[in-house]
Structure 1
Amino acid sequence: MAKQKKKGQSGQAKNYITRTQAVRKLQISLPDFRRLCIFKGIYPREPRNIKKANKSASHSTTFYYTKDVQYLLHEPLLQKFREQKALSKKIARSLGRNEVQDAVRLEKYAMPKIKLDHIVRERYPTFVDALRDLDDALSLLFLFANLPSTSAVPAKVIARCQRLCHEFEHYLITTHTLRKSFLSIKGIYYQATIQGQDIMWLVPYKFVQRVTQDVDYRIMGTFVEFYCTLLGFVNYRLYTSIGLVYPPKFDVASDERGAELSAFTLEGHRVAGAIDQKEDEQKMLTNGHGQIQNSETIQAQIDKIAQEAEVEDDTKEDENPEEQADSGTIDTFTPAAPEGDILPQPDLTGDEASTLFSNFTFFISREAPRHSVEFLLRAFGAKRIGWDAVLGDGAFTHDETDPRITHQIVDRPALAQPLPALQGQSDPKDQPLQAIKPGYIVPGRVYIQPQWIWDCVNEGKLLRTDLYAPGATLPPHISPWIKPTSGQYDPRATLEEQEPAGEADQDIEEEEENADSAEEVETDDGDESEDGENEVDAGDMDVASASSEAESEEEVADGFAGFEGTEDADGLSSDLDDEAQHQKELEAEASGRPIPVAKSKEDARKAKALKARQTAQSKKDEEIERQKMMMSNKKRKLFEKMQYSNNKRDLEAEKLRAKRRKLERAGKGKA
């Protein structure tokens, strides 16, 4: 006889454990259990059959894997938590005895410190694993870096998050690995490519944040504690991989004056080694004394080597000019068919990103977001960036009238008045600090709105600055991660590129018909208000017979127009059209309505083109119906679903194009 299984000893009842059982098994408090699970990356699980896992109990509970809880039994942090609990009891005892100094001493010196280094190494065996999990860490740390200090969020935590985030931004600036950015309602999205991994994070706008009470900052603080350790590991690995010293030098006084990124000074091992090597060479040349030996001979050898190197570089450029030109470019992909989807293009290289803004000198006005603009400009090659002294320390120049400035980033209404000539010394360093009054501009300088920087970064090239002038209507700011597909509306493309043939003419015809119908309604209301003399006259002229004759003539004309075998088909149709037009004029005159104007050649052409499009569409629909008859029932239903979604997408795109066409016509009318 086989051994009988007891209920609750195998299956889901054994694989899952409730949170209460896990806390009792680990012998820690519930807050410590939550912290430990966050640090170790253990999350609640939902069994397939809750009734079996809960051993037929009806109350709701939270389940964990039993093996995960057994794995926590050997965690070194458990001992740290127990030591903290014992110390908190000693502190409470000292406070109960009114021994305040002893309580302060115990809390300051005897509190065991928790280190999470071993947990980071356990959860991320390789550096690529850490990079893949860096999105949430960066988003949360940038969020806490912008929060105000409260009792729930201490100032030390905020300062640590700010420093780690600035260190990471300095790495992106040095390596030019930032690729895209997008301004959204939630904040500013950034994407960087580090060692082949795309990392995207969200940075909130620097507004005044309201700390609400419905958020559990203890849970978020636990995540921040772990993510700070993780980002510290990642920053150390990134800095050392490019030969920089970590942590970089940090000037506290400059940071207090609002320098932010400029408060850090990067140092490299390679640079230090090169300086030491030069000093050793200098000592060898001077033989340990202050006098250089054989300086003329050494200088002649150096000049000879430099000339040879220049000649070799010139010959290489002359031999392969095309290869030199194409070495820094990336191949672009074009669709094979005209109606095919737009293929995603490769991103910028580090060399192209480092030279995008390298030839310009920028000045950030006080109303522009300084930190985000400075970070983007420096990440894409800008070396000289100035701003107003109110925005903080660390600028290239605080003088707004500096002639070296080529582009000024403003977010104000249109500026029109040129700045009068400044009297002073020619050297900008010797001139006093000056500010330009609102409404004045410096001649020869380009004024742009901040969106120009984001659009240039996403497009990978410098765009036209006149479209982003102060006060101008900005182009649509589209997310760089959404690629347009065929059939969808693309606000970045022109209407001629994406609208079907004749769609604009059809839209204009519909508007004209709506206007004509509105005028007819107005005239009919005016006729009814009269004393009825026109009605008596119309009744004497037998309008009904005339209209019936006109309809019969129109039918005959349509019949002749469709018959193309005769030589005088065009002549007959034109004569019939003239007669029909004459009859319509008589009817309008009898009824007191305005006389309809004869259609011009352009209107006839549009009508003919519309009829041709309708004929082609009807043939296409008939062909589709014939093809559907040959399909199986399953494929027919699938095809109808696809057709429904495509028609819905085309209808939405048509509405958006009509709205844009109307706005463009209104803009041209105002101009």
Structure 2
Amino acid sequence: MGRIKKKGEAGNAKNYITRTHAVKKLQISLPDFRKLCIWKGIFPREPRNKKKVSKSSTASTTFYYAKDIQYLLHEPLLQKFREQKVLEKKISRALGRGDVGDASRLERNAARPEKTGKPRYTLDHVIRERYPTFVDALRDLDDCLSMLFLFANLPSTSSVPAKMIARCERLCLEFQHYLIVSQNLRKSFLSIKGIYYQANIQGEDILWLAPYKFNQRVIGDVDFRIMGTFVEFYMTLLGFINFRLYTSIGLKYPPKFDQAKDDEGGELGAFKIEGNLVTAPANEAPAQITSQEAEAGPDPETQAEVNKLIRQMREADVDADQVDTEADKDEATDAIDKFEPAAPGGDVLPQPSYSGAEPELLFENCTFYLSRETPRQPLEFILRAFGCKRIGWDAVLGEGSYTTNERDPSITHQIVDRPVIQATNQDDADVEDNQTSQKLAANQRMPGRVYIQPQWVWDSINDGEMKRPDLYAPGAQLPPHLSPFVQNTQGAYDPTIPLDEQQTEGEALGDSDDEVAEDEVEGDEDEDDLAVKKMADSMDVAQSDDDDGDNDSFGGFSENEKAENEEESEDDEQAAEQQYQRELEAELTGKPIKQAPSNAQSKAKAEARKKLAKQAKDEAEEMERAKGMLSKKKRKLFEQMQYTNNKKSAEDLKLREKRRKLEKEKAKTKA
């Protein structure tokens, strides 16, 4: 006879454990337990049957895997938490006895990060456990960057200390410097939430969100203790990643930081990037060897032989590269491959095109000047990441500019974000500004310089080419700023394509009817009087026709004539109903009656509508017949797909209608 199993010792009751039991088992406080779970990547689980899992009479709400809690028993951080808890008890006990000296001695021994800056513990081993390879860390970098860029812009409070904000900002600036040197930034997008950036690092696309440089208001609805736990983990993670990225391209980490320039608003200019001679590329000159290294170095004759072999290998590589380039030139043709959809209705892929310059060096030959109303930080980062070396701005924006003189003749592009100002009096122009004396007067332009709005920079880097500056001139209505992360699909609404090329036949017919109605509605009060007179004359003519018709004789109809007359009578009834509707609308609005279009035009549109309706009816019937051949499971799946497609088409229809209204309003304003 087997051993009898007791209740709660096997099955789900043993696989799960409540949060209360987990805290008691680990012998730590609830806040420390939350920290440990966040850092180790352990989260609550939802069992299928809570009654079987819960061992108590009260309904438990939070469960964890028992194996995860057993895994936490061997965590070195537990000992740190317990030591800190014991020290806090000793301090409170000393204060209770009134022994201030003993309490101060224990306080000095305690690790207070908010006061001393010394961490209580390190999370290095946690980073190594959670990310065995560097690619795993890069894949989890999206949330890390978004959180750190957010905290870098927050004001310091009791829950968010100033040292945490300063470290977040420094780590973010170091990461931006890597993107500038490596030129791995690809796209950016301005949204309501903030600025989205996308970079490609070692084949991994990384997308993060950076908030705008506004004064942030900290509210009490957000639990900054939980967010601070994530930030503490992400700061350690980004420190590891920055070290690996810097050393991979031959740079020293951490870069030299100038606190004085940072206090003056230098930000990116407060860092000095230096190369690591040990990991320098092969085409650079070797590092100089000191006298101590020469004494302990290898034999000079052996070193000379090694240098000779290395020189021969390099020459062989150069010859092979020249042969490959000559072969490529011989095989090069003017034709270029095009990516076409394999089947009708497939996704439209971006087509390759010849480009004279690389997108990473888009602004290499440009010198920019940023007006003081423009956002300097994102513009400086994007321009430097795409090859620009000379960026100037007003002195009030901070240190680190190429020039603060707005009249510098070497400036090729100036970014402004203010409306066109009307010419002021000469008395106002003579007044010198206290902030800068090297600025231009209102509406004054330097000859040979391109003036654009900030959106020109974002649209240029997303399209990989410098956009037309006249479309982004100061005061001009900017083109739509579209997200580069949305991939256009076949049949969906595309704002870059004209409306006539993507609207359906039914929408085109409805649009033409609206245009005809609007043209007929327009008129003056004199035209209203003429319309009333014409209506009176038509009424008199109709009465005379009726009187004449009473004296005529009736001879009967044939069968074909009867059918034609019935169709004509139906059309006449519809026309009469439409005319009556127009009269009611005119009476309510006080406008002249909308006249019906010409017979030929109306008949053509009516025939087109009938054709479209018949075609839609035939397609629906064919669809129902095809659905009848499917099984029940496949029919439900097909109906779900059809519902999703109809929902998307309805959204596209709304977008097209909205665009049609905007285009009509623009046409009216221009007229």
Normalised TM-score (structure 2):
0.77
CA deviation vs aligned residue, 1:435-470 (integer Å, no higher than 9, x gap): 123433222221211112112222222222222222
In the other structure, the counterpart of 1:356 is 362
SS at match of 1:113: coil
Displacement of 1:15 after TM fit?
Answer: 0.9
CA deviation vs aligned residue, 1:338-370 (integer Å, no higher than 9, x gap): 754312568999x82321111211111111111
Matched, 1:85 2:85: yes
In the other structure, the counterpart of 2:663 is 664
Report 1:456-605 matches (<5 A): 456-500=460-504, 503-504=507-508, 506-513=510-517, 516=520, 538-542=542-546, 599=598, 604=600
Following the alignment from structure 1 to structure 2, what is the Cα–Cα distance between the partners of residues 457 and 28?
Answer: 52
In the other structure, the counterpart of 1:412 is 418
Q: From 217, 226, 230, give the equivalent of 2:224.
A: 217
Displacement of 1:414 after TM fit?
Answer: 3.0
Change in 2 beyond 3 A, CA 1:652/1:76: closer
In the other structure, the counterpart of 1:46 is 46
8 A Cα contact 1:398 1:433, kept in partner: no
Change in 2 beyond 3 A, CA 1:140/1:46: same
Matched, 1:343 2:340: no
Matched, 1:632 2:636: no
CA deviation vs aligned residue, 1:510-540 (integer Å, no higher than 9, x gap): 3323664798999999999999998667534
Following the alignment from structure 1 to structure 2, what is the Cα–Cα distance between the partners of residues 507 and 122?
Answer: 63
Following the alignment from structure 1 to structure 2, what is the Cα–Cα distance between the partners of residues 348 and 104?
Answer: 72
In the other structure, the counterpart of 1:297 is none
8 A Cα contact 2:506 2:612, kept in partner: no
Following the alignment from structure 1 to structure 2, what is the Cα–Cα distance between the partners of residues 595 and 616?
Answer: 26
8 A Cα contact 1:51 1:58, kept in partner: no
8 A Cα contact 1:341 1:486, kept in partner: yes
8 A Cα contact 2:250 2:279, kept in partner: no
Following the alignment from structure 1 to structure 2, what is the Cα–Cα distance between the partners of residues 544 and 8?
Answer: 103
Matched, 1:366 2:372: yes
Displacement of 1:397 after TM fit?
Answer: 1.0
CA RMSD of aligned residues (A): 4.5
8 A Cα contact 2:368 2:390, kept in partner: yes
CA deviation vs aligned residue, 1:383-433 (integer Å, no higher than 9, x gap): 111111111100111111211111111111136879x9xxxxxxxxxxx96
SS at match of 1:441: coil
Aligned residues between the structures: 593
SS at match of 2:358: helix
The one-letter amino acid paired with 1:365 is S
Please, which moves more after superposition, 45-54 or 611-620?
611-620
Change in 2 beyond 3 A, CA 1:658/1:76: closer
Matched, 1:401 2:407: yes
Following the alignment from structure 2 to structure 1, what is the Cα–Cα distance between the partners of residues 609 and 197?
Answer: 46
In the other structure, the counterpart of 1:140 is 147
In the other structure, the counterpart of 2:178 is 171
Matched, 1:239 2:260: no
In the other structure, the counterpart of 2:455 is 451
8 A Cα contact 1:164 1:228, kept in partner: yes
Following the alignment from structure 2 to structure 1, what is the Cα–Cα distance between the partners of residues 136 and 507?
Answer: 52
SS at match of 1:440: coil
Q: From 378, 391, 402, give the equivalent of 1:385.
A: 391
The one-letter amino acid paired with 2:153 is N
The one-letter amino acid paired with 1:632 is M
The one-letter amino acid paired with 1:334 is E
SS at match of 1:82: helix
Following the alignment from structure 1 to structure 2, what is the Cα–Cα distance between the partners of residues 524 and 545?
Answer: 31
In the other structure, the counterpart of 2:618 is 622
Change in 2 beyond 3 A, CA 1:319/1:5: closer
SS at match of 1:542: helix
8 A Cα contact 1:362 1:408, kept in partner: yes
Displacement of 1:105 after TM fit?
Answer: 4.7
Matched, 1:115 2:128: no
Report 1:427-446 matches (<5 A): 434-446=438-450
Unaligned runs of 5+ in 2: 112-118, 291-316, 427-435, 568-574, 584-591
8 A Cα contact 1:137 1:227, kept in partner: yes
Following the alignment from structure 1 to structure 2, what is the Cα–Cα distance between the partners of residues 527 and 67?
Answer: 88
Amino-acid identity (%): 57
CA deviation vs aligned residue, 1:479-529 (integer Å, no higher than 9, x gap): 222112222211122224323468546412233236647989999999999
SS at match of 2:198: strand
Displacement of 1:38 after TM fit?
Answer: 1.7
CA deviation vs aligned residue, 1:365-385 (integer Å, no higher than 9, x gap): 111111111111111111111
Following the alignment from structure 1 to structure 2, what is the Cα–Cα distance between the partners of residues 462 and 322?
Answer: 31
Displacement of 1:319 after TM fit?
Answer: 7.4
Displacement of 1:243 after TM fit?
Answer: 0.9
SS at match of 2:368: strand
Following the alignment from structure 1 to structure 2, what is the Cα–Cα distance between the partners of residues 483 and 174?
Answer: 29
8 A Cα contact 2:250 2:280, kept in partner: no
The one-letter amino acid paired with 1:456 is S
Following the alignment from structure 2 to structure 1, what is the Cα–Cα distance between the partners of residues 594 and 212?
Answer: 63
Following the alignment from structure 1 to structure 2, what is the Cα–Cα distance between the partners of residues 611 and 24?
Answer: 80
SS at match of 1:408: strand
Following the alignment from structure 2 to structure 1, what is the Cα–Cα distance between the partners of residues 89 and 173?
Answer: 39
The one-letter amino acid paired with 1:86 is V
Please, which moves more after superposition, 526-535 or 655-664?
526-535
Displacement of 1:90 after TM fit?
Answer: 3.0
Following the alignment from structure 2 to structure 1, what is the Cα–Cα distance between the partners of residues 269 and 547?
Answer: 88
Change in 2 beyond 3 A, CA 1:82/1:145: same
Change in 2 beyond 3 A, CA 1:264/1:221: same
The one-letter amino acid paired with 1:356 is L
8 A Cα contact 1:348 1:460, kept in partner: no
In the other structure, the counterpart of 1:151 is 158
The one-letter amino acid paired with 1:666 is E
CA deviation vs aligned residue, 1:573-631 (integer Å, no higher than 9, x gap): xxxxxxx9xxx9xxx9xxxx9997994xxx95796477357526624642552463254
Following the alignment from structure 2 to structure 1, what is the Cα–Cα distance between the partners of residues 320 and 47?
Answer: 72
Change in 2 beyond 3 A, CA 1:433/1:490: same
Following the alignment from structure 1 to structure 2, what is the Cα–Cα distance between the partners of residues 403 and 604?
Answer: 66
Unaligned runs of 5+ in 1: 282-308, 421-431, 563-579
In the other structure, the counterpart of 1:27 is 27
Displacement of 1:655 after TM fit?
Answer: 4.1
SS at match of 1:663: helix
8 A Cα contact 1:143 1:204, kept in partner: yes
Change in 2 beyond 3 A, CA 1:652/1:545: farther
Displacement of 1:114 after TM fit?
Answer: 0.6
Following the alignment from structure 1 to structure 2, what is the Cα–Cα distance between the partners of residues 387 and 371?
Answer: 11
Following the alignment from structure 2 to structure 1, what is the Cα–Cα distance between the partners of residues 104 and 151?
Answer: 28
In the other structure, the counterpart of 1:58 is 58
Change in 2 beyond 3 A, CA 1:104/1:238: farther
In the other structure, the counterpart of 2:308 is none
Change in 2 beyond 3 A, CA 1:277/1:636: closer
Displacement of 1:653 after TM fit?
Answer: 2.9
The one-letter amino acid paired with 1:115 is T
Matched, 1:228 2:225: no
